[in-house]
Structure 1
Amino acid sequence: MSAESLERRTRNYLQSNVPQIQDHGGHFEIEDVDEEAGEITVAIGGACSGCGIAPMTMKAIRERLPDHVSDIETVNVRRTSGPRAAVMPDKTEEMEEMDEYTDYSPPF
């Protein structure tokens, strides 16, 4: 398995199954691929930087990507900062742990 193949399959999955990122003015970037470890790092940005449901999107990507793209064991997702960043980056982890996000299943 090559890093290029893993990146391509990840990009295809995100474009097809998480179109809300781009539909709502956000974007994603695959920052790192470690094919030997089965680990991939995805950054979401643009409008996602300040979006209140970005933690749910990040959680969904972390949990669902390994189920849909073979050879992926670990998914790291981070939010990039930018001019639209309305949510303080240090609050993201706290938000992901909130009960409201625990059982929420985004529609993608």
Structure 2
Amino acid sequence: MSTQGLERQTRNYLSNNVPQIQQHGGNFEIREVDEEAGQVTVAIGGACSGCGIAPMTMKAIEHRLPESVDGVSEVKVVRAGGPRAAVMPSKIDEMDEMEEYEDYDPPF
């Protein structure tokens, strides 16, 4: 499988199984694909950068993407920063550490 194939599969998975990202004003970007290692890095941004459930969404993607896409063994999800970020980084760090996110099981 080519890197483009793995990237395309990842994009299809995110578009089809995590529609909340786009429906809620967020976006995702596949930042890096290492076909040989089976590693994919996905950035979520827009409204996701300040969303209270973004850490739960990130964990779900990290867990479920390898189960759903052939050739993926490791997924890293990061928040996009810069002008597309919707909230200050200090608030994002606080949200990532909230205990409420530990057992969340989103519907996708």
Matched, 1:45 2:45: yes
Q: Which runs of 5+ in 1 are unaligned?
A: none
> Residue 19 of structure 2 aligns with which residue?
19
Q: Please report the RMSD computed on the Cα atoms of aligned residues, expressed in angstroms.
A: 1.7
Matched, 1:61 2:61: yes
CA, structure 1 residues 85+4, in 2 after alignment: closer, same or farther (shift >3 Å)?
Answer: same
Structure 2 counterpart of 1:44, one-letter code? I
Shift of 1:47: 0.7
Q: Which runs of 5+ in 2 are unaligned?
A: none
> Residue 85 of structure 1 aligns with which residue?
86
| Aligned residues between the structures | 107
1:2-52 deviation digits (Å, cap 9, x = unpaired): 100000000000000000000000000001000000000000011111111
Counterparts of 2:77 and 2:90 in 1: how far apart (Å)?
A: 15
Structure 1 counterpart of 2:86, one-letter code? A
Identity in percent: 66
> Residue 4 of structure 2 aligns with which residue?
4
Shift of 1:76: 0.7
Shift of 1:102: 1.4
The alignment's TM-score, normalised by the length of structure 2, stands at: 0.89
The alignment's TM-score, normalised by the length of structure 1, stands at: 0.89
1:64-90 deviation digits (Å, cap 9, x = unpaired): 00000011011010001235532x435
Shift of 1:103: 1.0
